[in-house]
């Protein structure tokens, strides 16, 4: 069973940004090694009974630990972030595809109805949340269809910060990362970041980490606090880089078909 906190996270970002269900199950093959391909998750295959998909998309055991270690590596290597877990900041992982999305929607609507039945929320609030659950499900299903694969989602979340990761369900490569720290602090002031600063920060990050295997980055779009780049010599290599409005530093990125999907959305919104 997945937590209501995680479902809440899904509701917050599912439609407007990267999906963050943090629930489900995936079968990962292989084994971690120092020489594996960059950004790919590998573990020993585990087909024990408690690892089998029960329809809700659970990730447990060795697979969950493998994703946890890979997520920690990405935080450290790309963002220089290390931290200690506690009871309020625990790792969750899972798979998000059309099948599990149906299960998520059913469970979320059940919880909302239970809250109303217990008089914890009003009828108006209940209807509002049920409508959003439906909208959110549609948005996430569209994302899965557009990127043409399910998403193995991992991360940590509490009231002050969250670290979210989407991995390609089939290839196990990282699709997108979002680092959110202090966004709920209303006392924090957003920085004024020029487009030149935004592009410079993003381009330096791309070059430093060889993001998306781009060798010669060319800017496509710079919007607010995110920017899209493509390899000047290979238009199939596209990335999206997010820059924090509070620190001016990179706090997320998308690559591959995920970046293609976000680019399509960005150009349609112009």
Q: What tokens were used for 258?
A: 């995920």
What tens digit of pLDDT does each residue of 65-76 get? 999 999 999 999
What tens digit of pLDDT does each residue of 37-56 get? 334 433 333 334 444 454 66
The two most distant CA atoms of the chain are separated, in Å, by 60
Spatial separation of the C-alpha atoms in residues 186 and 200, rounded to whole Å: 28
Q: Would you say residue 103 has pLDDT above 60? A: yes
Q: What tokens were used for 40?
A: 């790919």
* 8-state DSSP, 39: T
Q: Is this model's pTM higher than 0.95 or not?
A: no
pLDDT band for 191, please (50, 70, 90 cuts): confident
């Amino acid at each position: 069973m997945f937590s209501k906190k995680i479902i809440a996270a899904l509701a917050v970002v599912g439609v407007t940004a990267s999906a963050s269900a943090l629930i489900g199950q995936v079968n990962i093959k292989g084994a971690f090694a120092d020489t594996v391909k960059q950004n790919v998750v590998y573990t020993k295959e585990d087909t024990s009974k408690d690892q089998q998909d029960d329809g809700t998309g659970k990730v447990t055991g060795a697979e969950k630990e493998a994703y946890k270690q890979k997520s920690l590596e990405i935080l450290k290597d790309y963002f220089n972030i290390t931290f200690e877990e506690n009871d309020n900041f625990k790792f969750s992982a899972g798979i998000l595809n059309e099948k599990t999305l149906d299960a998520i929607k059913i469970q979320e609507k059940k919880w909302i109805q239970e809250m109303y039945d217990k008089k914890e929320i009003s009828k108006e609030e209940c209807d509002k949340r049920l409508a959003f659950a439906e909208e959110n499900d549609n948005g996430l299903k569209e994302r899965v269809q557009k990127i043409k694969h399910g998403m193995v989602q991992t991360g940590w979340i509490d009231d002050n910060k969250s670290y979210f990761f989407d991995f390609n369900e089939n290839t196990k490569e990282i699709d997108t990362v979002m680092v959110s720290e202090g966004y709920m602090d209303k006392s924090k002031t957003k920085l004024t970041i020029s487009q030149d600063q935004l592009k410079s920060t993003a381009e330096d990050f791309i070059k430093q980490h060889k993001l998306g295997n781009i060798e010669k980055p060319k800017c496509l779009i710079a919007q607010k606090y995110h920017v899209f780049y493509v390899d000047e010599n290979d238009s199939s290599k596209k990335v999206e880089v997010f820059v924090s409005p509070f620190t001016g530093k990179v706090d997320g990125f998308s690559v591959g078909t995920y970046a293609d999907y976000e680019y399509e959305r960005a150009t349609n919104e112009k």
